[in-house]
Amino acid sequence: MNNPTDLRYATSHEWVRLDGDFATVGISDHAQEELTDVVFVELPAVGRSVDAGDPTAVVESVKAASDIYAPIGGEVVEVNPDVEADPSLVNTDPYGKGWIFKLKVKNAADVASLMDAAAYTAQIG
């Protein structure tokens, strides 16, 4: 799966899709492949304020549990109940139905520090 070019990526393998002042966050296809079968997702609390780099959610696979970091700072405004009910969505549709949480962006400059698809592809290459 190619990394979508409309997203920005953190070195810790989270992706961000911006929509105005809001950002949808998930983990990359590469990250879900490394984790293998995701069996549990611990979602953050709505209303929680996070800074870029803060551990915000947890994804557990048959291999390991991994923190999901906030790629940018903001307030958690929504979580994806579908991945709580069906964690395999993180594996089967990491850039669509497998999103994890949404943030109201605190500092748009955080986004500029993230990689574009080409840079991220080079990092994982």
Is 1's pLDDT higher than 70? no
* This prediction's pTM: 0.96
pLDDT digits 0-9 by tens, 5-48: 999 999 999 999 999 999 999 999 999 999 999 999 999 999 99
Model pLDDT, residue 109 = 87
DSSP string, 48-102: -EE-TT-EEEEEEESS-EEEEE-SS-EEEEEE-HHHHH-TTHHHH-TTTTT--EE
Mean pLDDT of 79-88: 97
All structural domains of the chain, each given as residue ranges with its CATH number in brackets, are 8-115 (2.40.50.100)
